[in-house]
Structure 1
Amino acid sequence: MSSLGGALVIVLTVEVLARLDVLPSRYLPPPSVVLTRLFEAMAEPVFWQATAMTVIGWFLSLTIATLVAVPLGVLLGTSELAHRATRPIVEFLRPVPSVALIPLVFLLFRPGSMDGKVFLAAFAATWPLLIQVIYGVRAINPIQLATARSFQIGRVRSFFRVVIPAATPYLATGLRIASSVALILTVTGEIIMGAPGIGLEINRAREGGDVPLMYAYVIVGGVLGVVLNLLFAALERKVLHWHVSQRSARR
């Protein structure tokens, strides 16, 4: 509640300052004007089409990142040889800013296509998820594996009964981070590459001089991020109800 109160104070302050022309209303319109424009836009099909295209792009990029990062992370986490052999490559590619690949995306994909923004977002989302999975697999207590072997549990059963449950909290954290990164890069790709979605509508509103509509779509992007984060947090609490972090959070 305190965070909502703080946000409300900021909104009211901006409203008053914009109304008094302390802030340039041409570039920073009052929040009430932005919200009014948002409700007007919600009555138009373009708004829902743009939102749907952004959500689809986010979903595809996060799915691709998951399909790449999880198996690869398990492999690099369980095999010391594979981990050492690929560590320089991972450490080199991981810090590369995804926006630096935009010129390459323009060369590989047709301008304005969804493929470009999905590639960009998937590349960015893969790394935090990959690192979390690797750390999760490598953080398993050797005593747990030794106990499984003492009970003559085979490698396959040990993997599913010991490795996967122990790495799941790391996987859940990685998915939440990757989800946010994927959404950010999806909207960024739409703005820069002209792909359909919220980012493209932000650009169109800016070029058309409709500043309230531009901020309205920015708010939609922020709301999407909050909603997706809450969904992943709720899913994490449900799946990891047995984990100590969730039990302590409920106290």
Structure 2
Amino acid sequence: MENTSRVFATILPASGREFTGNEKEHGLEVRTVNRQTPGNRVREVQVTGTAEVCCPADRASVRVSVGNSKESVNEVTNSVSRRLEYILQSLRQHGICDKDTSVRRFLQREADLYHMGAEVVVTFSDFEKMERVCSVLLEKLDKSVCVGTPQFYHSPGYLSQLRKQACVSAVENAQQKASEVSQLLGQSLGPPLLVREEETREWRNEDEEYEGRGQSTAPFSHLPRTPTITASSRVSVSFSLRDRGRKKL
């Protein structure tokens, strides 16, 4: 007959272990089971591990627009084109690649006037460079240019890496738990038998830092905030157990 013992315990994380994000320790259920296999009986410990990793946005897009109205098409086209060329030249001088910019132009007529507008959308991965470029454009073009508020976001590749990091941290957490439990039971932790990711979640924390704060404590609340995303992972891992006194063959 197969004998099964069940132990419930809560294990605190070992001091000195650090991960990129915040981690949460949950209750631990450990089951030591004798499983009948073709060659021998395998004893195992099953644990769960959870982790949360938080990262700020890695991209920002800025919309820069210029426009004018003239009595002739040539005049309005020349006026807007000169400022548009200055914007594109400034971007190139700051090392912005063409693939990170998109340009739109539009022309319309109302009564006796021709209206022309141009819009440049720039994607930045270097936020300090973004601030320098916006300052230069506002300083040189003054009221003839409109620089929009940066829109921060996470690129798909960055989000994928964030999810992987959360899963890996959760597995490391589970391994640490299993190691401490095996020591408590007088056993030696063997290789993993099964690793299963049971739950993943993501949520934005754009306004979390400012919750509960009054306007008096945030004098620069008009500044754009860099949103963050937190990814969490919960895994279930099974490890084999070995007697400490058992000699390795």
- TM-score, normalised with respect to structure 2: 0.27
| Bigger strand share | 2
- TM-score, normalised with respect to structure 1: 0.27
The structure whose RCO (Cα within 8 Å, separation 6+) is larger is 2
| Bigger helix share | 1
Which protein shows a greater Rg? 2
